[in-house]
Chain A
Amino acid sequence: MGLFDLFSGLKTFAHGIHPPYHKDTADKPIRRLPFPAQLVLPLDQHIGKPAIPLVKKGQEVVRGEPIAKADGAFSVPLHAPATGRVRGIELMPTPKGPKSDAIVIDVYDGSTQEVLWKQPREMSELSPTEAIQAIQDTGMVGLGGAAFPSHLKLTIPEDKTVDTLVINGCECEPYLTCDHRVMLEHPQALMRGIRYAMRATGTSQAIIGVEDNKMDAVEILRDHLPKGGSIKVESVETKYPQGSEKMLIKSVLNREVPAGGLPADVGVVVNNVGTLAGLGRLLPEGEGLIERVITVAGPGIVKPGNYLVPLGTPIRHILEQVGYEGSRTEFILGGPMMGPAVSAMDTPITKGTSGLLVLNEPSIEEESHKIWPCIRCARCVKACPMHLNPSILGQMAAKRKYEEMAEDYHLNDCFECGCCSYVCPSNIPLVQYFRIAKAINREQAA
């Protein structure tokens, strides 16, 4: 237990930052938006191998029907989020940048858009392997942002033993409230999902970590806890990046995931509340993941809120529905700390998208963009939750000393949380430097 815990009494980790949270949409219940005319479904919405299309141009699909199958174990299938006709498989913009192959569906205007394709089953009868297969069939990936296939995460490698399931309800990114709403509105689904996951991983205890700015969610979850105490709810300090799995494990279990290691190395599996709530709902129904809750917020949004949208909805459609303003705008998929900006309004919402943030002129102008030299103020050093030295890393990156960065200064332990850039008074784009450095190192190694 760190010294810090003794003082605050709250569970937390060392370093990190306290950005303004702007969680204004926390009291906005989840709403549906009208369906768009067209859905764009990139085949690589998840980490791993892209899915293989099962549909042809012109083919009709119904809501919920699988339209692409998993390419082996390291992949997940894709389901049609709406009833309509396949327009084709085309190159479309994605949040990642380069255009890539996507199934484009023209949505039928008149359809009721009911889920017409499902294979309900009794979960308690499934063997663990069957359960894992069932999870893969849902197409579920981590909804916390990484979009890592859930069935893989819940498959524990043979050489590891896992004793605890940690459920990540921190939602430490400013603005975002979708996880918060899911905890408030679907506690039963969540509990169900947790039980499935515990069964799949063979763990005996589960801890839901929730930041202490969401005490209402903590209350509700406590009310729904099953008897026996196998599942616990822990409130942790509101601090960015509390939601990062390494930090959360440190906070609730005081275990440190080794550098370069996985949570499983310390006997833990971490899942996002949205992911498990989704599994809790989808698995017994035998449905696929076709929609998700996103927070639409930011100073440029007229009607901010939490919306349930079909996957593949272009952000243009959402923005037209909720209204946005500004002549120079920044569109961010996810939270302001880690979310990527998008360069085209045709970019679709994918499985990993947890929010759509719109910043317009005033919030853009607030920042001064001039990049000064590093004045070695050490603020970044004091902010980095991984205890790296972003100051020297940044200076080395500017000189393209990428290999030395990795060898001597643990570049690869940086998980790009952005704390360093956030605090840097010199406005040095540290995270961006580190991304480049890592990318180049990866290429060199390949």
Chain B
Amino acid sequence: MDIEIVLNVSSAILFMGVLGLLLSSLLAFANKKLWVFEDPRIDEVESLLPATNCGACGSAGCRPFAEALIEGKVAPALCTVSSADNITEIADYLGVDSGDVVKRVARLACAGGSHVARMRAHYDGLASCRAAAVVSGGPKGCTWGCLGLADCAEVCEFDAITMDKHGLPVVESAKCTACEDCVEVCPKGLFSIQPVDHRLWVACKNLEHGDTAENDCEVACTACERCVKDSPEGLITIDDNLAIIDYSKNGLASRVATERCPTGAIVWLDDDRGVIKGTQAKRIIRKEALPI
């Protein structure tokens, strides 16, 4: 064999060997001196989380939540965005209990669409509930009611809210992750997060009573107290001219309470049949908006 080639080959291998030795010793040395421990499971758990960083879990984002999970401080089910499968997967990975997975959704305490609730003025400005609310409380006759300018629908990152044809937000339960964004944005505080089994529901926040309330909105709670009388003691009370349901007694709730409500402000939410009003509730056939 050619001597030059042999020389070349050997010097190459030698050089690389020396280089490899040098570098690896350097790294090994650095490894000893500079190593910082980080639990690799954090990455793994984080990759199982939805990466929406929505904060619904109460942590500052998905990674902090992952860290808290590893430390065992929180239960996986607190992430309301993940699907049940995902949560089980995380729980399995960590070998912990997934926690309580009760579906909770956002619910709206107003039924005053444009066809039943009167406007007292014509609002002309930024199309946003927040914006309208700072102008004299907004154009709506009922100053507690939904302004219908869709701030909630806009902030919902999960597209769970759409506006119906009367300008009322409708929550699609399946998509709602209970992230509370809509709760925070609504200037009238109409949304709250409720477990799905809270089926008896007062869809009104109007603090006026009787005709004054009904004048502004045909489906307002008039504080007539029929629901209170028809339901078990203490389940429903009237406070500030509004029916209030004590959900600690949710087990006692039934459709009966809604039956005699004259305006249909109190309703029963059924999984299959949707919103069910009482039989004596005023029929609303109007489709178009009320004039100002």
A residues adjacent to B (C-beta < 8 A): 91, 93, 95-99, 328, 340-344, 347, 369, 371, 400, 429, 432-433, 435-436, 439-440, 443-444
With both beta carbons as reference points, the residue of chain A lying nearest to B212 in the complex is identified as A91
Q: Which residues on the B side are within 8 Å of A369 (C-beta)?
A: 124
Q: Which residues on the B side are within 8 Å of A371 (C-beta)?
A: 126
Contact status of A97 and B137, CB under 8 A, knowing A91-B208, A343-B120, A439-B130: yes
18 contacting pairs across A/B (C-beta < 8 A)? A97-B134, A97-B135, A97-B137, A98-B143, A98-B144, A328-B122, A340-B135, A343-B121, A343-B136, A369-B124, A400-B155, A429-B125, A429-B131, A432-B131, A432-B134, A436-B130, A439-B187, A444-B184
A436 to B64, CA, bound (A): 30
Contact B184–A432 (Cβ < 8 Å): no
Contact B139–A343 (Cβ < 8 Å): yes
In addition to A344-B120, A429-B126, 11 A-B residue pairs with Cβ atoms within 8 Å of each other are A97-B134, A97-B138, A98-B144, A99-B208, A343-B121, A371-B126, A433-B131, A436-B131, A439-B134, A439-B187, A443-B184
Q: Which residues on the B side are within 8 Å of A433 (C-beta)?
A: 126, 131
A435 to B121, CA, bound (A): 21
Contact B136–A342 (Cβ < 8 Å): yes
Contact status of A432 and B136, CB under 8 A, knowing A344-B120, A400-B155, A440-B130: no
A149 shortest CB reach to chain B, Å: 23
A444 to B55, CA, bound (A): 13
Q: When A and B form their complex, which 3 residue pairs have the shortest distance between CB atoms, in order from nearest? A: A97-B137, A343-B121, A436-B130
A340 to B136, CA, bound (A): 7
A91 to B142, CA, bound (A): 12
For residue B133, CB closer than 8 A to chain A, the reply is yes
Q: Which residues on the B side are within 8 Å of A97 (C-beta)?
A: 133-138, 143
A98 to B122, CA, bound (A): 16
B135 contact from A341, A347, A439, Cβ within 8 A: A341
A95 contact from B124, B125, B136, B138, Cβ within 8 A: B136
For residue B98, CB closer than 8 A to chain A, the reply is no
A436 to B136, CA, bound (A): 13
Q: Which residues on the B side are within 8 Å of A440 (C-beta)?
A: 130, 184-185
A93 to B144, CA, bound (A): 12
With both beta carbons as reference points, the residue of chain A lying nearest to B121 in the complex is identified as A343
**Interface size of B by Cβ–Cβ distance < 8 Å?**
24
Binary contact track B110-138/A, C-beta < 8 Å → 1, others 0: 00000000001110111010110111111
A349 shortest CB reach to chain B, Å: 15
Contact B207–A91 (Cβ < 8 Å): yes
Q: Which residues on the A side are within 8 Å of B121 (C-beta)?
A: 343-344
Contact A96–B137 (Cβ < 8 Å): yes
Q: Which residues on the A side are within 8 Å of B135 (C-beta)?
A: 97, 340-341, 343, 432
A369 to B126, CA, bound (A): 10
With both beta carbons as reference points, the residue of chain B lying nearest to A369 in the complex is identified as B124
With both beta carbons as reference points, the residue of chain A lying nearest to B209 in the complex is identified as A91
Contact status of A435 and B137, CB under 8 A, knowing A91-B207, A344-B120: no
With both beta carbons as reference points, the residue of chain A lying nearest to B119 in the complex is identified as A343
Secondary structure of the A side of the interface? mixed
B270 shortest CB reach to chain A, Å: 33
With both beta carbons as reference points, the residue of chain A lying nearest to B123 in the complex is identified as A343
Contact A93–B134 (Cβ < 8 Å): no
B210 shortest CB reach to chain A, Å: 12
B91 shortest CB reach to chain A, Å: 31
Contact A432–B137 (Cβ < 8 Å): no
With both beta carbons as reference points, the residue of chain A lying nearest to B128 in the complex is identified as A436
Contact B136–A341 (Cβ < 8 Å): yes
A91 to B131, CA, bound (A): 23
Contact B126–A432 (Cβ < 8 Å): yes
Q: Which residues on the A side are within 8 Å of B137 (C-beta)?
A: 93, 96-98, 343
A435 to B133, CA, bound (A): 10
With both beta carbons as reference points, the residue of chain B lying nearest to A435 in the complex is identified as B134
A439 to B136, CA, bound (A): 15
B292 shortest CB reach to chain A, Å: 10
A344 to B122, CA, bound (A): 11
Q: Which residues on the A side are within 8 Å of B187 (C-beta)?
A: 439
A100 shortest CB reach to chain B, Å: 9
A342 to B135, CA, bound (A): 7
A355 shortest CB reach to chain B, Å: 16
A98 to B137, CA, bound (A): 5
A359 shortest CB reach to chain B, Å: 12
Q: Which residues on the B side are within 8 Å of A340 (C-beta)?
A: 135-136
A95 to B134, CA, bound (A): 10
With both beta carbons as reference points, the residue of chain A lying nearest to B143 in the complex is identified as A98
Contact status of A93 and B130, CB under 8 A, knowing A98-B137, A341-B135, A343-B138: no
A354 to B268, CA, bound (A): 49
A49 to B144, CA, bound (A): 22
With both beta carbons as reference points, the residue of chain A lying nearest to B135 in the complex is identified as A341
Binary contact track B134-172/A, C-beta < 8 Å → 1, others 0: 111111000110000000000100000000000000000
With both beta carbons as reference points, the residue of chain A lying nearest to B127 in the complex is identified as A371
Q: Which residues on the B side are within 8 Å of A98 (C-beta)?
A: 137, 143-144
A371 to B131, CA, bound (A): 14
A52 shortest CB reach to chain B, Å: 18
A83 shortest CB reach to chain B, Å: 27
A10 shortest CB reach to chain B, Å: 35
A96, A342, A343, A432: most-surrounded residue (chain B CB, <10 A): A343
A432 to B128, CA, bound (A): 10
A109 to B113, CA, bound (A): 42
Q: Which residues on the B side are within 8 Å of A439 (C-beta)?
A: 130, 134, 187
A344 to B141, CA, bound (A): 9
Q: Which residues on the B side are within 8 Å of A429 (C-beta)?
A: 125-126, 131
* Residues B233-272 near A (CB distance < 8 A): none
A328 to B138, CA, bound (A): 17
A344 to B215, CA, bound (A): 14
A443 to B133, CA, bound (A): 15
Q: Which residues on the A side are within 8 Å of B134 (C-beta)?
A: 97, 432, 435-436, 439
A30 to B135, CA, bound (A): 30
With both beta carbons as reference points, the residue of chain B lying nearest to A364 in the complex is identified as B124
B167 shortest CB reach to chain A, Å: 17
Q: Which residues on the B side are within 8 Å of A93 (C-beta)?
A: 137, 143
Q: Which residues on the B side are within 8 Å of A343 (C-beta)?
A: 120-121, 135-139
A204 to B251, CA, bound (A): 71
A96 to B137, CA, bound (A): 7
A439 to B121, CA, bound (A): 23
With both beta carbons as reference points, the residue of chain A lying nearest to B133 in the complex is identified as A97
